[in-house]
A and B are shown apart, each in its own frame.
Chain A
Amino acid sequence: EAGVAQSPRYKIIEKRQSVAFWCNPISGHATLYWYQQILGQGPKLLIQFQNNGVVDDSQLPKDRFSAERLKGVDSTLKIQPAKLEDSAVYLCASSRDRDYNEQFFGPGTRLTVL
Chain B
Amino acid sequence: QQQVKQSPQSLIVQKGGIPIINCAYENTAFDYFPWYQQFPGKGPALLIAIRPDVSEKKEGRFTISFNKSAKQFSLHIMDSQPGDSATYFCAASGKSGGYQKVTFGIGTKLQVIP
A90 → chain B, closest Cβ, in Å? Answer: 10
Q: Which of A1-53 contact B (CB under 8 A)?
A: 4, 31, 40-45, 48, 50
A56-B99 in contact given A42-B89, A102-B46, A106-B43 (Cβ < 8 Å): yes
Complex Cα distance, B37 from A19, in Å, reads 28
Q: What count of chain A residues pass the 8 Å CB interface test? A: 25
A56 CA to B96 CA in the complex, in Å?
10
B23-59 contact mask (Cβ, 8 Å, vs A): 1 or 0: 0000000001010100001111110010000000000
**Interface size range on B against A:** 20 to 34
Q: Compute how far the CA of A100 lies from the CA of B105 in the bound complex, rounded to whole angstroms.
A: 20
Identity of the chain A residue whose Cβ is nearest the Cβ of B36 in the assembled complex: A105
Contact with A along B66-103 (1 / 0, CB 8 A): 00000000000000000000000101010011111110
Question: Within the complex, what minimum Cβ distance (angstroms) separates A48 from chain B?
Answer: 7
Decide if A107 touches B41 in the complex (CB within 8 Å): yes
Q: In the bound complex, do residue B42 and residue A101 qualify as a contact, i.e. CB atoms below 8 Å apart? A: no
B106 within 8 A of A: yes
Contacts of B9 in A (CB 8 A): 40
Chain B interface mostly helix, strand, loop or mixed?
strand
| Dominant secondary structure of chain A at its interface with chain B | loop
Which of chain A's residues has its CB closest to B38's CB? Answer: A105
Q: Which listed residue, B43, B96, B107, touches A42 by the CB 8 Å rule?
A: B107
| A103 on interface, CB distance cutoff 8 Å | yes
Indicate whether A55 reaches chain B with its CB closer than 8 angstroms.
yes
Complex CA–CA separation, A87 to B90 (angstroms): 23
Are B104's CB and A55's CB within 8 A? no
A70–B93 alpha-carbon span in the complex (Å): 27
CB distance from A38 to the nearest CB of B (A): 10
Taking Cβ atoms with an 8 Å cutoff, the residues of A that contact B are: 4, 31, 40-45, 48, 50, 55-56, 91, 93, 98-108
Given A40-B106, A93-B43: 12 more A-B contacts, CB < 8 Å:
A40-B107, A42-B104, A42-B105, A42-B107, A43-B89, A44-B104, A55-B97, A100-B100, A102-B46, A102-B49, A103-B46, A104-B45
